Structure 1
Amino acid sequence: MRIYSLFIALIMLSSGVLYAQTSGTITGTVKDAKTGEPLIGATIILEGTNLGAATNVEGRYTINNIPTKTYNVKASFVGFITETKFNVVVRSAGNIELNFELKENVSELDEVTVTPNPFEKLETTPLSIQNLSQEEIAAYPGGNNDIAKVVQSLPGVSGSVGGFRNDVIIRGGAPNENVYFLDGVPIPNINHFSTQGSAGGPVGLLNVSFFEGVTLTASSFGAEYDNVLSGILQFNQRNGNPREFTGNLRISSSEAALTAEGPLFKGDQDIANTTFIASVRRSYLQLLFDVIGLPFLPDYWDFQYKLNHQVNRDNTIYLTGVGAIDDLAINDLEDFDPEQEAIQNQIPVIRQNSNTAGIGWKRQFSDNSGFMETVLSNNTLGNRFYRYDDNVNETGLYLKNESRETETQLRYRVTKFLGNWTASGGFLLINSDYSNNTEDLVNNRQFETDLNFFRYGLHGQVSSNMLNNRVKFSLGLRADGNTFTDTGNELYRTLSPRASVSYTFSENRDWTVNASVGRYYKILPYTTLGFQGNDGSFANKSADYIQSDHAVLGLEYLINQSSRISLEGFFKKYDDYPTSTTDSVSLANKGGGFEVFGSEPVISEGKGRTYGVELLFQQKFTGNFYAVTAFTFYKSEFTNLLGNDYDPAVWDNGVLISLLGGYKFGNNWEVSGRYRFLGKASYAPVDQQATLDNYPAVIKDFNELGTVRLDPFSQLDVRIDKKWSFQKLSLDLFVEIQNVLASANPSEPRYGLDRNEQGEVIMPRQLIRVDTSSEGAVLPSIGIVLNF
């Protein structure tokens, strides 16, 4: 805190010494969203000002001498629908390119005033889709630039309650039911210290400085996406600055990150054909946790990069990647505390490394009749996971999982435009390699796995519009197979039809009804497929793909050019869900803790269902104010091994409420806040006798799942931002106060061995409840972003 105070003092002093710069520049491109063709002479205007520009023969524009504050920027072109970028912050340095992709206006209405819809909708995904801009992510209160936390403000999305976790739970589905794409490159993990076999973890590893925006799809998935049951998060990365070298340094309460970008091989050109953007981030949580006296020390690095080369007008090649190095060590506490001692005993020792790299080729057909995309990628996760009787000295090993999973993927998709019709198709080929060395003394298991097999898929989709663009619809089909499971090559088992329709029924097009149905499949995680019995056989080779059928119906009302209200009802039905023969519980109820998810024998006989309604009000930045209000009421239920009765899932909160809003004052001050409420979550209580017999291993009694629930969760976070602009740099300073109301964080009861005041175990051993704190903590923090 002394360092922060000194830094702030220097900033305040320097603001009177450095030459203040009160203007900035924005640049970018305007293109046809369908063909990628540059639009020459398109007009770009900053709303509420006389500032603007027109695009040149390359579709590029530049607007200079812009006063440094926040704007809505509008791009228009004859015959195309006007698009507005909201909440665009102009600084003296560090402004990213602002690019527009305009859609052709096929409407023949001349006398009726039509309100342009600023909320993205596709024929393939007309509903259950949300978008966040880079500025919305960066300024999110309580988000700490972590995209997994930020998306929890959207309807139907929640996170784990009562733990040091960062899971993304969409409409009651498990965290491993989501997929993630970085510019078309699949990434299996978006968190540090991720749960292998799932995707959750405590801290996000993606740098938001890279993003033009993020798109969340909660249903109505396009046929090109495989292995998804609940949600798709697409991270759309921007290219590096093609004109000059720029970057930023971000320092927060838990980490420091450096990002650099610029042109390569520019020569005498004003705009380079080759650009780069790269970042590296370092945690110092381990230092803070050591000073505070917490029993574990999370230490991590991560990096991210993108290299983009414009070969010619029709061809672009890019290289992108992200990786992380994680080490969760145990802290030897000086003072005895029963709860901290129990955490120290029970938390695993984790050493992880992950890496994803992909190269993509985008080719626009020269006659503008379509395009093709080819992506070759590789992702690797190395996980060393240990549990000891003595974690501090790492002695008494009773669980070891040393594993490595690697995927090499080839994805191809071609899209053709045929009048009002769009048709696309493609294929997927994956080589999967998984090795594992496991010793599990609690469950008497020991095996070594070396598994290599292929996965593949085919997909096709057609979409169109009719009745003067009032009706939009899409039909899709895909099938997936693999060379490992017993029925993996029987593609008829995974035929996945899907259909969506959107009808705008009001004259000025402010009312729209949307609907979609679809069937989706997911192969089991490698931890489950690669599990072996003590006889050396693959115990789950006969497992089926998980099947999920979705039906969604929604109504949207566009209030004006910047706000909307929508209501959606959804129903998801699961079949062939894997159920543990060890714990007699659906795997849908696992994966939310620090464990190796799914490494156990299962049978594909489970069922499940989630259903509910979502109400959303959203206002883009208008009149210095923006807001997102989301209410979700739902049920999430799955069967266990003992019968076909549905029990509440661990993700069944019943009620989700998210309120997000912000106001921008003069002189670049901003105040924002977020409130979240989650209803009572179900959990499996601890089997105290089994835990005492196997301590420090904690054994859950899944037969009692649904009989007990946590208290409701609620939290209010507030953030204050201030921005300064100088001659060659700009500075963003923010102060966050998380949990302003000091609400208690609900958590499951924690048990440990009965000990005396010196921390010595009292004999005979007894298991006692050790969680004593019921008060919430207010967590203030500060962050600095220096743009240069």
Structure 2
Amino acid sequence: MRKTAVRNLVPILIAALIGFTSLPGFAGTTGVISGVVTDASTGEKLSGVNIIIKGTNLTTVTDAKGYFVITNVAPGSYEVAASLVGYDEGAVGDVQVTMDATSTVNVSLAKTTITEREVVVTGTRTLLQPDVTTPLYMVTSRQEKMTKTQPNATYQIQSLAGTQPGVVLDSEGMPHIRGGRAEGIGYMIEGIPVMEPLTNMFGTNTVTVGMSRMQVYTGGYPAEFGNAISGVLNEIKRTGSEVSGPRLEMSGGADSYGGIYGEFGGVSPSGLDYYVGSYAWRSQFEKMFFRGVDSIDNVGKFVLPNGRDKWTLLINQGYARYYLDSVHDFTYLYEPVTPEEDHNHQKYHIVGLTFSRSFTPASYLTVRPYIFSTSNVVDAASPDGPMGMYLDYGTRQRGLQVEYANQVNENHLVKVGGSLCASKNSYLAWVPGLGEWFGFPEWGDYWYTSKVDTLQTGAFIQDKAKIGDLWSLDLGVRFDGMKFNKAENPDVTQSQISPRIGVTRKLDDKTLVKASWGRFIQFPPSYVMERVYFNPGWEEYRPGNQDLKPERSVSWDFSVERQIGDSAVLRVTPFYRTYKDLIQSQKLNPDDPESFTSIFVNSGEGKSAGVECYYSRKLSKNWEGWVSYTWMKSRANASNFQSSIDPSVWVYTDWDQRHTLNAVLTYRQKSWEHNFQITYGSGLADTVDLDTASTQKHASGALVFSYNLTKKLPKDSPIGESISLNIWNIFNVCKPTHYYQYWYPDDPEDPDSAWSLYREADAWTQPRFISVSVQKRF
């Protein structure tokens, strides 16, 4: 039964501050720079060399082996300088630091031969990262601007993730990683999990306002990530140093689209780094479930360094209203209202305060308390609409995250840490007239609440080990625990230990071979664990109290990475993944064909196999871009947990697509920039059930070409800094991308009528969309 949350939380918070190694981990938001300094003439390793990351207060000195390391480096591009008495100063620029990765910089210093020393740009850096043993793709804000498409996919996490290998977008534009369900992805902002325990879905608008870069983990992600079984998306917001002064982007186009994106940032004389951004947009949609949207998202990030300490405050909030074509004149419990469109309105708030202390250049501690709240109302009770229901649900989460990292020596980077999250969850559902439709008018409306609060805890430890000059090993293990505090039934406590391992073998300076394996779990959504019906008759339809355990997956992958020249990387990754204990609906008495009562059980299974291919080219000779290709087969007993299954019957998932291609190419010439994008999907599998499984097909493929042109304007132009023209789907390819199958009587009024199989399209390629935007700096 429910207990006082505060009484339970206090001892846990105290334990977190004293013994944080007993708590679960969270996504890292910083990286590492390390390397070796040698004498350019003799190759001798130099000790006592001063290392500075310019533009920061991060410094260190090389050891007796010439080795240096600086941890807790914010993502970005840096210049690393090395100086030693008797040698010319060395500097290596454009050192790219990414989250949870080590950037290697080796510097060679030449002895001073003249009285006045000079800075010599010397050293090596590689585009490959041997310490990242699992498939990780990094998307930057620069790449985001290269992929502007139609309104519902502009500045959106889902569509941006869909440009990466291993990710397939379903008929509603939701991402699926390596064949997993949409709710199997872990969404994070600055390492803060933004999924609702109620539904295991993301709780924000997923708008990327203020995004600096985003991690896309598709394979065996490290032990610091938990409660996700198919992939992880972690978004990092910009800092003021990335934005010089105020900037405004105004866009307009077809389908009544209008958008305003404003941001400003900088660094104050006191060292306060500040960034504020806002994106508001509205649009009509064609051939989509919702007819249109009004949305606004705001973000603020403030970073204050103070010696060895650093404080970071993140504030993120948003609101969106999606509406349908259907109209209702009553709302919850038949309360009359002025006729209005069926709609869904949602809002969220995130506040996170991160304290980081660097004890030495090689070790640091991070503590982050945060608040995350969500609210979602679906007011769509129209009997003629596609939903015919009223939903009101939300969460109030209070979390604490702690991590300690220590580069013990040149060969071991150890991380240990964790997080806890206490969440108050509320879900109300009302479907008018459903009892009568089922033939049980005495049951009345389908009406229930679910108020199952949750408390998630855990622990992880991870060691990134370097074995000689050729091998890297990533070993980790985590513990996850969840307590479901039910309102009327006994509480449920669950836990799981998940090991992870990854290995890299260096074949030569430009070739790596990687392999990873891991076990992953995800706890069931709280709103299926207990439902309290206002009319107990509905217990005969589905008992309110459910006994479920975590869903599980096991992932294997193997990668070959090759650096091509100084600016390009090619990666090929075969993979295989299995899913077990997936939540499914099942008859309470499967042996009784007349049985009406259904329950949720962990009886579903799934599996996927395929190959991810990725070619990326940094800006060189005016060209840059990437090509992402995925070949995959994804099968399961069913695509969603509401479906009844037969364990002996396997079907292709609704998002199974054999070939998925995204190619983005940019050419810059003086003040002109041309962005070309090609997307191809060979066609999604039909939605089927047990009665139509044997006739499942795939939709035909669709190839879409898009183009974006940007012209930089003269500095004194009254229009702005630049102007852009965007054309999505140049040739207006409008093909069905998904179908569903069903049996229906030829004569619904004749009980003896024959039945026919129907196959209808419910999703199409979005039609041509043209927009113009103006960017202006102040």
Relative to the length of structure 1, the TM-score reads: 0.72
Give per-residue Cα distances to partners, 1:596-616, cap 9 Å, x unaligned. Answer: xxxx94201111111111222
Offset, 1:102: 8.1
In 1, Cα distance between the equivalents of 2:354 and 2:518?
29
Offset, 1:35: 7.6
Offset, 1:568: 0.7
Q: What letter is aligned with 1:234? A: N
Counterpart mapping for 1:191-210 below 5 A: 197-199=200-202, 204-207=206-209, 210=210
Relative distance call for 1:710 and 1:198 in structure 2 (3 A) is farther
Give per-residue Cα distances to partners, 1:163-191, cap 9 Å, x unaligned. Answer: xx3312222222211122222222238xx
Relative distance call for 1:705 and 1:182 in structure 2 (3 A) is farther
Is 1:413–1:424's contact at 8 Å kept on the other side of the alignment?
A: yes
Is 2:374–2:395's contact at 8 Å kept on the other side of the alignment?
A: yes
Counterpart mapping for 1:14-93 below 5 A: 34=32, 55=54, 58=57, 75-78=79-82, 82=92, 84=94
Is 1:257–1:279's contact at 8 Å kept on the other side of the alignment?
A: no
Q: Secondary structure at the match of 2:449?
A: strand
What is the number of equivalent residue pairs in this alignment?
641
Is 1:724–1:731's contact at 8 Å kept on the other side of the alignment?
A: yes
In 1, Cα distance between the equivalents of 2:164 and 2:605?
27
Q: What letter is aligned with 2:600? A: V
Relative distance call for 1:619 and 1:772 in structure 2 (3 A) is closer
In 1, Cα distance between the equivalents of 2:180 and 2:342?
26
1:655 alignment counterpart? 659
2:585 alignment counterpart? 580
1:622 alignment counterpart? 620
Offset, 1:649: 0.7
Is 2:247–2:775's contact at 8 Å kept on the other side of the alignment?
A: no
Is 2:666–2:675's contact at 8 Å kept on the other side of the alignment?
A: yes
Q: Secondary structure at the match of 2:321?
A: strand
Offset, 1:663: 0.9
In 1, Cα distance between the equivalents of 2:288 and 2:545?
43
Offset, 1:127: 3.6
In 2, Cα distance between the equivalents of 1:539 and 1:244?
55
Instruction: State which of 384, 388, 394 in structure 1 corresponds to 2:377.
Output: 384
1:498 alignment counterpart? 500
Relative distance call for 1:200 and 1:305 in structure 2 (3 A) is closer
In 1, Cα distance between the equivalents of 2:194 and 2:403?
18
Offset, 1:553: 0.5
Q: What letter is aligned with 1:707? A: Q
Offset, 1:141: 4.0
1:681 alignment counterpart? 684
Relative distance call for 1:658 and 1:421 in structure 2 (3 A) is same
Relative distance call for 1:719 and 1:175 in structure 2 (3 A) is same
Q: What letter is aligned with 1:430? A: C
In 2, Cα distance between the equivalents of 1:115 and 1:354?
45
Q: Secondary structure at the match of 2:736?
A: coil
Offset, 1:495: 0.8
1:726 alignment counterpart? 715
1:466 alignment counterpart? 467
Is 1:255–1:281's contact at 8 Å kept on the other side of the alignment?
A: no
Alignment gaps of 5+ in structure 1 = 1-31, 40-52, 61-71, 87-96, 334-344, 586-599, 686-699, 753-761
In 1, Cα distance between the equivalents of 2:463 and 2:704?
44
Relative distance call for 1:423 and 1:160 in structure 2 (3 A) is same
1:570 alignment counterpart? 575
Q: What letter is aligned with 2:126? A: N
Instruction: State which of 701, 726, 733 in structure 2 corresponds to 1:712.
Output: 701
1:374 has 2:367 as partner: yes
2:309 alignment counterpart? 315
Give per-residue Cα distances to partners, 1:317-371, cap 9 Å, x unaligned. Answer: 12213222222234579xxxxxxxxxxx9x9531222222211111111x33411
Relative distance call for 1:100 and 1:359 in structure 2 (3 A) is closer
Instruction: State which of 146, 158, 164 in structure 2 corresponds to 1:148.
Output: 158
Is 1:296–1:330's contact at 8 Å kept on the other side of the alignment?
A: yes
Give per-residue Cα distances to partners, 1:26-45, cap 9 Å, x unaligned. Answer: xxxxxx953899x9xxxxxx
Relative distance call for 1:584 and 1:786 in structure 2 (3 A) is farther
1:782 has 2:765 as partner: no
2:175 alignment counterpart? 168
Instruction: State which of 291, 294, 299 in structure 2 corresponds to 1:304.
Output: 299
Relative distance call for 1:424 and 1:54 in structure 2 (3 A) is closer
In 2, Cα distance between the equivalents of 1:670 and 1:362?
40
Pairwise CA RMSD? 4.5
Offset, 1:720: 0.9
Q: Secondary structure at the match of 2:143?
A: helix
Offset, 1:702: 7.1
1:547 has 2:536 as partner: no
Is 2:278–2:299's contact at 8 Å kept on the other side of the alignment?
A: yes
Relative distance call for 1:453 and 1:160 in structure 2 (3 A) is closer
1:525 has 2:512 as partner: no
Q: Secondary structure at the match of 1:284?
A: strand
Is 1:581–1:602's contact at 8 Å kept on the other side of the alignment?
A: yes
In 1, Cα distance between the equivalents of 2:365 and 2:559?
32
Q: Secondary structure at the match of 1:150?
A: helix
In 1, Cα distance between the equivalents of 2:422 and 2:55?
45
Offset, 1:664: 0.9
Offset, 1:566: 1.6
In 2, Cα distance between the equivalents of 1:276 and 1:362?
17
Offset, 1:707: 1.3
2:458 alignment counterpart? 457
Structure showing the higher strand proportion among its residues: 2
Offset, 1:740: 1.4
Relative distance call for 1:99 and 1:722 in structure 2 (3 A) is farther
Relative distance call for 1:294 and 1:514 in structure 2 (3 A) is closer
Offset, 1:129: 1.0
Offset, 1:633: 1.2
1:416 has 2:401 as partner: no
Is 1:133–1:213's contact at 8 Å kept on the other side of the alignment?
A: yes
Counterpart mapping for 1:94-173 below 5 A: 103=103, 105=105, 116-119=125-128, 121=129, 123=131, 125-142=132-149, 144-161=154-171, 165-173=172-180
Offset, 1:624: 0.6
Offset, 1:732: 2.4
2:673 alignment counterpart? 670
Give per-residue Cα distances to partners, 1:266-289, cap 9 Å, x unaligned. Answer: 4xx3xx322332223322325x98
Counterpart mapping for 1:354-365 below 5 A: 354-365=348-359
1:67 alignment counterpart? none
Q: Secondary structure at the match of 2:381?
A: strand
In 1, Cα distance between the equivalents of 2:603 and 2:370?
34
Offset, 1:140: 2.0
Offset, 1:81: 9.8
Offset, 1:773: 11
Offset, 1:250: 3.5
1:430 has 2:421 as partner: yes
1:216 alignment counterpart? 216
1:246 has 2:246 as partner: yes
Counterpart mapping for 1:470-489 below 5 A: 470-484=470-484, 489=493
In 1, Cα distance between the equivalents of 2:91 and 2:517?
29
Counterpart mapping for 1:439-454 below 5 A: 439-440=430-431, 441-442=433-434, 445-454=446-455
Relative distance call for 1:473 and 1:604 in structure 2 (3 A) is same
Is 1:176–1:198's contact at 8 Å kept on the other side of the alignment?
A: yes
